[in-house]
A and B are shown apart, each in its own frame.
Chain A
Protein backbone atom coordinates (compact mmCIF):
# COMPACT_ATOMS: atom_id res chain seq x y z
CA UNK A 1 0.00 0.00 0.00
CA UNK A 2 2.91 2.40 0.61
CA UNK A 3 3.72 2.31 -3.12
CA UNK A 4 0.15 3.29 -3.91
CA UNK A 5 0.45 6.13 -1.40
CA UNK A 6 3.55 7.36 -3.21
CA UNK A 7 1.80 7.09 -6.58
CA UNK A 8 -1.12 9.11 -5.18
CA UNK A 9 1.36 11.65 -3.89
CA UNK A 10 2.97 11.92 -7.34
CA UNK A 11 -0.23 12.23 -9.38
CA UNK A 12 -2.18 14.42 -6.94
CA UNK A 13 0.31 16.40 -4.84
CA UNK A 14 3.87 16.57 -6.13
CA UNK A 15 3.12 19.10 -8.88
CA UNK A 16 6.69 20.29 -9.36
CA UNK A 17 8.23 16.90 -10.15
CA UNK A 18 5.22 15.78 -12.18
CA UNK A 19 5.30 18.91 -14.34
CA UNK A 20 9.05 18.53 -14.93
CA UNK A 21 8.54 14.92 -15.98
CA UNK A 22 5.55 15.72 -18.21
CA UNK A 23 7.32 18.51 -20.10
CA UNK A 24 10.30 16.21 -20.63
CA UNK A 25 8.04 13.38 -21.84
CA UNK A 26 6.23 15.66 -24.30
CA UNK A 27 9.57 16.88 -25.70
CA UNK A 28 10.98 13.33 -26.04
CA UNK A 29 7.80 11.96 -27.65
CA UNK A 30 7.55 14.94 -30.00
CA UNK A 31 11.20 14.62 -31.02
CA UNK A 32 10.75 10.87 -31.57
CA UNK A 33 7.70 11.36 -33.81
CA UNK A 34 9.18 14.19 -35.89
CA UNK A 35 12.55 12.48 -36.28
CA UNK A 36 11.03 9.18 -37.43
CA UNK A 37 8.45 10.78 -39.70
CA UNK A 38 10.42 13.59 -41.35
CA UNK A 39 14.06 12.54 -41.08
CA UNK A 40 13.71 8.75 -41.37
CA UNK A 41 10.60 8.94 -43.58
CA UNK A 42 8.83 6.12 -41.74
CA UNK A 43 5.07 5.42 -42.11
CA UNK A 44 2.85 7.69 -40.05
CA UNK A 45 0.65 4.98 -38.54
CA UNK A 46 3.61 3.03 -37.18
CA UNK A 47 5.32 6.14 -35.80
CA UNK A 48 2.06 7.26 -34.16
CA UNK A 49 1.73 3.99 -32.21
CA UNK A 50 5.40 4.03 -31.32
CA UNK A 51 5.14 7.62 -30.04
CA UNK A 52 2.20 6.63 -27.84
CA UNK A 53 4.28 3.66 -26.65
CA UNK A 54 7.16 5.99 -25.75
CA UNK A 55 4.77 8.15 -23.69
CA UNK A 56 3.37 5.09 -21.89
CA UNK A 57 6.81 3.63 -21.23
CA UNK A 58 8.22 6.92 -19.86
CA UNK A 59 5.16 7.46 -17.65
CA UNK A 60 5.25 3.94 -16.19
CA UNK A 61 9.03 4.07 -15.74
CA UNK A 62 8.95 7.45 -14.04
CA UNK A 63 6.06 6.46 -11.75
CA UNK A 64 7.88 3.26 -10.77
CA UNK A 65 11.13 5.18 -10.17
CA UNK A 66 9.30 7.76 -8.09
CA UNK A 67 7.53 5.09 -6.01
CA UNK A 68 10.78 3.21 -5.32
CA UNK A 69 13.12 6.12 -4.69
CA UNK A 70 11.06 8.65 -2.73
CA UNK A 71 10.05 8.66 0.91
CA UNK A 72 6.52 7.57 1.81
CA UNK A 73 4.25 10.63 2.21
CA UNK A 74 3.16 11.76 5.66
CA UNK A 75 -0.52 11.68 4.72
CA UNK A 76 -1.61 8.10 4.17
CA UNK A 77 -4.58 7.22 2.00
CA UNK A 78 -6.84 4.25 2.63
CA UNK A 79 -7.37 1.97 -0.35
CA UNK A 80 -10.18 -0.43 -1.07
CA UNK A 81 -9.43 -4.13 -1.33
CA UNK A 82 -10.29 -5.97 -4.53
CA UNK A 83 -13.15 -7.77 -2.77
CA UNK A 84 -14.71 -4.48 -1.69
CA UNK A 85 -14.86 -3.23 -5.28
CA UNK A 86 -17.49 -5.86 -6.05
CA UNK A 87 -19.61 -5.33 -2.95
CA UNK A 88 -21.95 -2.79 -4.50
CA UNK A 89 -23.63 -5.16 -6.95
CA UNK A 90 -25.96 -2.56 -8.45
CA UNK A 91 -23.09 -0.30 -9.54
CA UNK A 92 -21.19 -3.30 -10.86
CA UNK A 93 -24.18 -4.52 -12.87
CA UNK A 94 -24.89 -1.11 -14.38
CA UNK A 95 -21.21 -0.73 -15.27
CA UNK A 96 -21.00 -4.13 -16.93
CA UNK A 97 -24.23 -3.59 -18.90
CA UNK A 98 -22.95 -0.18 -20.07
CA UNK A 99 -19.66 -1.68 -21.23
CA UNK A 100 -21.43 -4.50 -23.10
CA UNK A 101 -23.91 -2.10 -24.73
CA UNK A 102 -21.14 0.27 -25.80
CA UNK A 103 -19.12 -2.62 -27.22
CA UNK A 104 -22.13 -3.91 -29.19
CA UNK A 105 -22.97 -0.39 -30.40
CA UNK A 106 -19.42 0.24 -31.58
CA UNK A 107 -19.47 -2.98 -33.63
CA UNK A 108 -23.03 -2.87 -34.95
CA UNK A 109 -24.12 0.75 -35.24
CA UNK A 110 -22.33 2.95 -37.71
CA UNK A 111 -22.94 6.60 -36.95
CA UNK A 112 -22.02 8.56 -40.04
CA UNK A 113 -20.88 12.10 -39.57
CA UNK A 114 -19.76 13.37 -42.90
CA UNK A 115 -17.79 16.34 -41.66
CA UNK A 116 -15.92 14.40 -38.99
CA UNK A 117 -15.31 11.52 -41.38
CA UNK A 118 -14.08 13.91 -44.08
CA UNK A 119 -11.72 15.60 -41.62
CA UNK A 120 -10.41 12.22 -40.48
CA UNK A 121 -9.88 11.02 -44.05
CA UNK A 122 -8.22 14.34 -44.99
CA UNK A 123 -5.84 13.86 -42.08
CA UNK A 124 -4.99 10.32 -43.19
CA UNK A 125 -4.62 11.48 -46.78
CA UNK A 126 -2.29 14.29 -45.73
CA UNK A 127 -0.18 11.95 -43.63
CA UNK A 128 0.04 9.35 -46.42
CA UNK A 129 1.35 11.85 -48.98
CA UNK A 130 3.59 13.73 -46.53
CA UNK A 131 6.29 11.10 -46.90
CA UNK A 132 8.98 11.82 -49.48
CA UNK A 133 8.51 8.52 -51.30
CA UNK A 134 5.32 6.48 -51.35
CA UNK A 135 6.04 3.17 -49.66
CA UNK A 136 3.73 0.13 -49.53
CA UNK A 137 2.07 1.31 -46.29
CA UNK A 138 1.34 4.79 -47.68
CA UNK A 139 -0.03 3.34 -50.94
CA UNK A 140 -2.25 0.96 -48.99
CA UNK A 141 -3.41 3.82 -46.79
CA UNK A 142 -4.25 5.96 -49.85
CA UNK A 143 -6.27 3.11 -51.39
CA UNK A 144 -8.23 2.69 -48.14
CA UNK A 145 -8.91 6.42 -47.88
CA UNK A 146 -10.23 6.65 -51.46
CA UNK A 147 -12.28 3.45 -51.16
CA UNK A 148 -13.88 4.69 -47.91
CA UNK A 149 -14.53 8.15 -49.37
CA UNK A 150 -16.12 6.60 -52.48
CA UNK A 151 -18.23 4.11 -50.49
CA UNK A 152 -19.64 6.73 -48.10
CA UNK A 153 -19.70 9.60 -50.62
CA UNK A 154 -17.40 11.69 -48.44
CA UNK A 155 -16.00 14.84 -50.01
CA UNK A 156 -12.22 15.12 -49.51
CA UNK A 157 -10.08 18.25 -49.67
CA UNK A 158 -9.53 18.85 -53.45
CA UNK A 159 -6.00 20.18 -52.86
CA UNK A 160 -5.01 16.98 -51.09
CA UNK A 161 -6.76 14.80 -53.69
CA UNK A 162 -4.89 16.54 -56.52
CA UNK A 163 -1.57 16.21 -54.69
CA UNK A 164 -2.29 12.53 -53.95
CA UNK A 165 -3.33 11.96 -57.59
CA UNK A 166 -0.09 13.41 -58.95
CA UNK A 167 2.00 11.40 -56.49
CA UNK A 168 0.11 8.18 -57.20
CA UNK A 169 0.25 8.47 -60.99
CA UNK A 170 3.94 9.35 -60.90
CA UNK A 171 4.54 6.36 -58.64
CA UNK A 172 2.39 4.09 -60.85
CA UNK A 173 4.73 4.69 -63.83
CA UNK A 174 7.55 3.08 -61.88
CA UNK A 175 5.71 0.85 -59.45
CA UNK A 176 2.76 -1.39 -60.52
CA UNK A 177 1.87 -1.90 -56.84
CA UNK A 178 0.58 1.68 -56.75
CA UNK A 179 -1.92 0.97 -59.53
CA UNK A 180 -4.80 -0.31 -57.29
CA UNK A 181 -4.60 2.90 -55.26
CA UNK A 182 -4.73 4.93 -58.50
CA UNK A 183 -7.85 2.98 -59.56
CA UNK A 184 -9.41 3.70 -56.16
CA UNK A 185 -8.66 7.40 -56.68
CA UNK A 186 -10.40 7.31 -60.07
CA UNK A 187 -13.46 5.66 -58.53
CA UNK A 188 -13.53 8.34 -55.84
CA UNK A 189 -13.20 11.13 -58.42
CA UNK A 190 -16.29 9.95 -60.27
CA UNK A 191 -18.39 10.06 -57.08
CA UNK A 192 -17.93 13.83 -56.95
CA UNK A 193 -19.12 14.42 -60.54
CA UNK A 194 -22.48 16.13 -60.03
CA UNK A 195 -23.41 17.58 -63.41
CA UNK A 196 -23.93 15.08 -66.19
CA UNK A 197 -25.06 15.59 -69.76
CA UNK A 198 -28.71 14.68 -70.41
CA UNK A 199 -28.64 11.75 -72.81
CA UNK A 200 -30.90 8.74 -73.37
CA UNK A 201 -30.11 5.67 -71.19
CA UNK A 202 -28.76 2.42 -72.68
CA UNK A 203 -27.62 -1.00 -71.49
CA UNK A 204 -23.96 -1.99 -71.54
CA UNK A 205 -22.80 -3.30 -74.89
CA UNK A 206 -20.48 -6.12 -75.90
CA UNK A 207 -17.00 -5.27 -77.07
CA UNK A 208 -16.57 -5.96 -80.81
CA UNK A 209 -13.70 -8.19 -81.83
CA UNK A 210 -10.89 -7.10 -84.17
CA UNK A 211 -8.21 -4.43 -83.99
CA UNK A 212 -8.54 -0.67 -83.91
CA UNK A 213 -11.88 1.06 -83.42
CA UNK A 214 -14.71 -1.01 -84.87
CA UNK A 215 -17.80 0.53 -83.25
CA UNK A 216 -19.01 4.11 -82.76
CA UNK A 217 -21.27 5.05 -79.85
CA UNK A 218 -22.56 8.57 -79.35
CA UNK A 219 -25.07 10.52 -77.24
CA UNK A 220 -25.78 7.65 -74.82
CA UNK A 221 -25.90 7.03 -71.08
CA UNK A 222 -24.89 3.72 -69.55
CA UNK A 223 -26.38 3.15 -66.15
CA UNK A 224 -26.37 -0.13 -64.26
CA UNK A 225 -25.13 -1.38 -60.91
CA UNK A 226 -24.25 -4.83 -62.28
CA UNK A 227 -23.07 -3.58 -65.64
CA UNK A 228 -19.40 -3.85 -66.69
CA UNK A 229 -18.51 -1.93 -69.83
CA UNK A 230 -15.22 -2.40 -71.69
CA UNK A 231 -13.92 0.66 -73.55
CA UNK A 232 -11.70 -1.21 -76.03
CA UNK A 233 -12.32 -0.99 -79.80
CA UNK A 234 -15.16 1.54 -79.42
CA UNK A 235 -15.22 5.27 -80.13
CA UNK A 236 -17.33 7.01 -77.49
CA UNK A 237 -18.74 10.50 -78.13
CA UNK A 238 -20.90 12.47 -75.67
CA UNK A 239 -21.40 9.42 -73.45
CA UNK A 240 -22.19 9.24 -69.73
CA UNK A 241 -21.28 6.22 -67.57
CA UNK A 242 -23.09 6.03 -64.24
CA UNK A 243 -22.82 3.20 -61.67
CA UNK A 244 -20.85 1.18 -64.20
CA UNK A 245 -17.70 -0.89 -63.78
CA UNK A 246 -15.46 0.51 -66.49
CA UNK A 247 -13.04 -2.04 -67.96
CA UNK A 248 -10.08 -1.25 -70.19
CA UNK A 249 -7.58 -3.79 -71.51
CA UNK A 250 -5.30 -1.30 -73.26
CA UNK A 251 -6.83 -1.63 -76.73
CA UNK A 252 -7.70 1.13 -79.18
CA UNK A 253 -10.41 3.49 -78.01
CA UNK A 254 -11.48 7.07 -78.54
CA UNK A 255 -13.24 9.04 -75.83
CA UNK A 256 -14.77 12.41 -76.72
CA UNK A 257 -16.57 14.33 -73.98
CA UNK A 258 -17.14 11.19 -71.89
CA UNK A 259 -18.30 11.58 -68.29
CA UNK A 260 -18.19 9.13 -65.38
CA UNK A 261 -20.24 9.13 -62.17
CA UNK A 262 -20.04 6.63 -59.27
CA UNK A 263 -18.02 4.28 -61.47
CA UNK A 264 -15.57 1.54 -60.51
CA UNK A 265 -12.48 1.16 -62.67
CA UNK A 266 -10.83 -2.06 -63.71
CA UNK A 267 -8.03 -0.90 -65.99
CA UNK A 268 -5.16 -3.19 -66.96
CA UNK A 269 -1.78 -1.83 -65.95
CA UNK A 270 -0.43 -0.40 -69.22
CA UNK A 271 0.92 2.92 -70.60
CA UNK A 272 -2.45 3.59 -72.25
CA UNK A 273 -4.27 3.02 -68.93
CA UNK A 274 -1.86 5.42 -67.23
CA UNK A 275 -2.70 8.10 -69.78
CA UNK A 276 -6.41 7.51 -69.25
CA UNK A 277 -5.94 7.55 -65.46
CA UNK A 278 -4.14 10.87 -65.67
CA UNK A 279 -7.14 12.46 -67.41
CA UNK A 280 -9.70 10.76 -65.17
CA UNK A 281 -8.11 12.12 -62.02
CA UNK A 282 -7.86 15.63 -63.46
CA UNK A 283 -11.16 16.27 -65.22
CA UNK A 284 -14.88 15.44 -65.10
CA UNK A 285 -15.12 15.21 -68.86
CA UNK A 286 -12.61 13.03 -70.72
CA UNK A 287 -11.42 13.44 -74.32
CA UNK A 288 -8.58 11.19 -75.43
CA UNK A 289 -7.46 8.79 -78.19
CA UNK A 290 -5.80 5.55 -77.01
CA UNK A 291 -3.35 4.23 -77.95
CA UNK A 292 -1.88 6.90 -80.23
CA UNK A 293 -3.87 9.17 -82.50
CA UNK A 294 -6.62 7.17 -84.11
CA UNK A 295 -8.28 10.04 -85.87
Chain B
Protein backbone atom coordinates (compact mmCIF):
# COMPACT_ATOMS: atom_id res chain seq x y z
CA UNK B 1 0.00 0.00 0.00
CA UNK B 2 2.85 2.34 0.93
CA UNK B 3 4.54 1.77 -2.42
CA UNK B 4 1.26 2.15 -4.30
CA UNK B 5 0.77 5.59 -2.69
CA UNK B 6 4.30 6.64 -3.61
CA UNK B 7 3.96 5.27 -7.15
CA UNK B 8 0.68 7.16 -7.60
CA UNK B 9 2.30 10.38 -6.34
CA UNK B 10 5.27 9.98 -8.69
CA UNK B 11 2.98 9.26 -11.65
CA UNK B 12 1.01 12.41 -10.86
CA UNK B 13 4.22 14.48 -10.71
CA UNK B 14 5.33 12.92 -14.02
CA UNK B 15 2.04 14.01 -15.63
CA UNK B 16 2.41 17.51 -14.18
CA UNK B 17 5.95 17.75 -15.62
CA UNK B 18 4.61 16.74 -19.05
CA UNK B 19 1.94 19.45 -18.72
CA UNK B 20 4.55 22.07 -17.78
CA UNK B 21 6.59 21.15 -20.88
CA UNK B 22 3.46 21.52 -23.04
CA UNK B 23 2.75 24.91 -21.46
CA UNK B 24 6.24 26.07 -22.40
CA UNK B 25 7.60 26.33 -18.88
CA UNK B 26 11.30 27.27 -18.56
CA UNK B 27 13.38 24.20 -19.62
CA UNK B 28 15.99 24.91 -16.93
CA UNK B 29 13.38 24.76 -14.18
CA UNK B 30 11.83 21.65 -15.70
CA UNK B 31 15.28 20.03 -15.66
CA UNK B 32 15.51 20.77 -11.92
CA UNK B 33 12.03 19.31 -11.33
CA UNK B 34 12.94 16.28 -13.42
CA UNK B 35 16.06 15.73 -11.30
CA UNK B 36 13.99 15.90 -8.10
CA UNK B 37 11.43 13.51 -9.60
CA UNK B 38 14.20 11.13 -10.69
CA UNK B 39 15.70 10.83 -7.20
CA UNK B 40 12.28 10.39 -5.61
CA UNK B 41 11.60 7.60 -8.09
CA UNK B 42 15.04 6.08 -7.49
CA UNK B 43 14.57 6.05 -3.70
CA UNK B 44 11.11 4.42 -3.91
CA UNK B 45 12.11 1.95 -6.61
CA UNK B 46 15.38 1.00 -4.84
CA UNK B 47 13.65 0.32 -1.55
CA UNK B 48 10.79 -1.53 -3.25
CA UNK B 49 13.20 -3.86 -5.06
CA UNK B 50 15.23 -4.46 -1.90
CA UNK B 51 12.03 -5.20 0.05
CA UNK B 52 11.08 -7.72 -2.63
CA UNK B 53 14.50 -9.42 -2.67
CA UNK B 54 14.66 -9.69 1.14
CA UNK B 55 11.17 -11.20 1.34
CA UNK B 56 11.90 -13.72 -1.41
CA UNK B 57 15.17 -14.71 0.27
CA UNK B 58 13.52 -15.15 3.66
CA UNK B 59 10.66 -17.08 2.10
CA UNK B 60 13.13 -19.36 0.31
CA UNK B 61 14.76 -20.19 3.62
CA UNK B 62 11.46 -21.12 5.24
CA UNK B 63 10.69 -24.78 5.58
CA UNK B 64 7.30 -26.16 4.53
CA UNK B 65 6.03 -27.93 7.59
CA UNK B 66 3.25 -30.41 6.83
CA UNK B 67 0.76 -30.41 9.73
CA UNK B 68 0.20 -33.81 11.29
Chain A residues packing against B (C-beta within 8 Å): 4, 7-8, 11-12, 19, 22-23, 25-27, 29-30, 33-34, 37-38, 47-48, 51-52, 55-56, 59, 63, 77-80, 84-85, 123, 126-127, 129-130, 159, 163
B35 close to A22 (CB less than 8 A): no
A26's closest neighbor in chain B, by CB?
A: B43
- The chain B residues found within 8 Å of chain A, CB to CB, are 2, 6, 27, 31-32, 34-36, 38-40, 42-44, 46-47, 50-51, 54-55, 58, 60-63, 65
Roughly how many angstroms separate A163 CA and B42 CA in the complex, as a whole number?
Answer: 24
Nearest chain B CB to A121's CB is how many angstroms away? 15
Return the contact of B47 from the options A48, A55, A130 (Cβ within 8 A). A55
B6, B36, B43, B47: most-surrounded residue (chain A CB, <10 A): B43
Q: Which single member of A12, A51, A55 contacts B55 (CB below 8 Å)?
A: A12
Contacts of A23 in B (CB 8 A): 2
Most buried by B among A55, A84, A123: A55
> Are the CB atoms of B58 and A130 closer together than 8 Å?
no
Contact A34 B39 (CB under 8 A): yes
Give Cα distance in the complex from A59 to B51, angstroms: 9
Q: How far is the CA of A63 from the CA of B54 in the complex (A)?
A: 10
| Residues of chain B contacted by A25 (CB below 8 angstroms) | 43, 47
A33-B42, A37-B39, A59-B47 known; A80-B63 Cβ under 8 A: yes
* B62 and A26 form a contact (CB under 8 A): no
Q: B43 contacts which chain A residues (CB < 8 A)?
A: 25-27, 29-30, 33, 51, 55
Q: Which of B54, B55, B60 has the most CB of A within 10 A?
A: B54
Distance in angstroms from A97 CB to nearest chain B CB is 18
Q: Is the CB of B39 within 8 A of A80?
A: no
Interface of A (DSSP majority class):
helix
Give the shortest distance, in Å, between A236 (CB) and chain B (any CB). Answer: 35
Smallest Cβ distance from A66 to chain B, in angstroms? 12
A55 to B50, Cβ gap below 8 A?
yes
Smallest CB separation, B24 vs chain A (Å): 11
Kindly name the residue among A22, A38, A63 whose own CB sees the greatest number of chain B CB atoms within 10 A.
A22
How far is the CB of B41 from the nearest CB of chain A, in Å? 9
The residues of A that contact B50 with a CB separation of less than 8 Å are 55-56, 59
Q: Which 4 A-B pairs have the closest CB atoms?
A: A33-B39, A29-B43, A78-B63, A30-B43
Q: Is the CB of A55 within 8 A of B65?
A: no
- 14 sampled A-B residue pairs with Cβ under 8 A: A29-B39, A29-B42, A34-B36, A47-B39, A51-B39, A51-B43, A55-B43, A56-B46, A77-B62, A77-B63, A79-B63, A84-B63, A126-B31, A130-B31
